[in-house]
Amino acid sequence: MRVWIQSNSKSTSLAIQRQLRFKLLQQHIKISEEYPDLVITVGGDGTFLSAFHRFSNQLDHLLFIGIHTGHLGFYTDWQDNELDDLVRLIVQNQKKIIRFPLLDVKVSYTNGHQSHFLSLNESIIKRVSQTMRADVLIDGHKFERFRGDGISMSTPTGSTAYSKSIGGAIVDPSLEVMQFNEVAPINNRVYRTVNSSLILPQKQILTILPDRQTDYIVTVDNLSYDHCSIQKIEYQIAREKIQIAEYRPKQFWLRVKNAFLVN
């Protein structure tokens, strides 16, 4: 087994990274950055997102584990004082593999170029300033004319992040769905949007056709692309999934309670 440990730059996380590396080497586990079988992140959910994007071209064989050095995260279940337990369970290799849905993001630019991304949390399109105007299509049929700040599409695991802050539902990640959320839509007697979250199933494609402008921002998780001239963005649930190594059972709704309800 080859393991890579990705840490954020905080001194506490770097110290945990060093300790973990030492403990893994003691068990004759190889440390490999290029082609790991297991990526262990040390930090918060943000660190986990960075590791996901760094290794998103190796998702078919790669497992992820998150250790948190701050507050409990949604992708980071292990505490920094549990390294011995974690290493023992890695050596014993008795795990369940949990797969979470990802969002497939296809961006077409007005110059004819295309970009393709996978998102673990969400992708947002908005304008640098002024109202964004766009047609929203579901499976090629016009659904609404949107006016407002922007549009967010999120995965189930991303539903506890930005999507929740803009009023989206929290979605159990065992459901293979994607969530559409409007960001500050304009609704009055002249302009009308659905003004509600939409939960869309596998294979449906949600397309955004923005008015021709040059100043769109497109985000994919913690990545941001500024001043884009977008012709259209197509969102659907990706064929790829992220695979998490689960060495002990955990309950999603207990984590939601711990993150948002219990002090």
Site string for ligand NAP, 163-202 (x = CB under 6 A): --x-------------------------------------
Could you give the CA distance from residue 217 to residue 7 in angstroms, rounded to a whole number? 28
74 — alpha (psi -120 to 50), left (phi > 0) or beta? alpha
Task: Answer for the pair 110, 209: CB distance below 8 angstroms, yes or no.
Answer: no
Closest contact distance (angstroms) between CB of 151 and ligand NAP is 14
Selected from 118, 221, 235, 245, the binder of ligand NAP by CB under 6 A is 221
49 near ligand NAP (CB under 6 A): yes
Selected from 55, 146, 162, 180, the binder of ligand NAP by CB under 6 A is 162
Which residue is it, tokens 């920094």? 80
Candidates 17-25, 41-49, 81-89, 206-214: pick the segment binding ligand NAP (CB under 6 A): 41-49
| CA distances in angstroms from 94 to 86, 141, 252, listed in the order given | 11, 47, 21
Closest contact distance (angstroms) between CB of 211 and ligand NAP is 25
In the complex with ligand NAP, the residue whose CB is nearer, 45 or 144, is 45
Task: Answer for the pair 166, 197: CB distance below 8 angstroms, yes or no.
Answer: no
User: Which amino acid does the sequence have at 61?
Assistant: H
Residue from 237, 134, 257, 263 nearest 193 by CA: 134
Q: Is 45 a catalytic residue?
A: yes
Max CA pair span of the chain? 69
Return residues touching ligand NAP (CB under 6 A): 44-46, 49, 70, 73-74, 121-122, 157-158, 160-162, 165, 221-222
Residues recognised as catalytic: 45
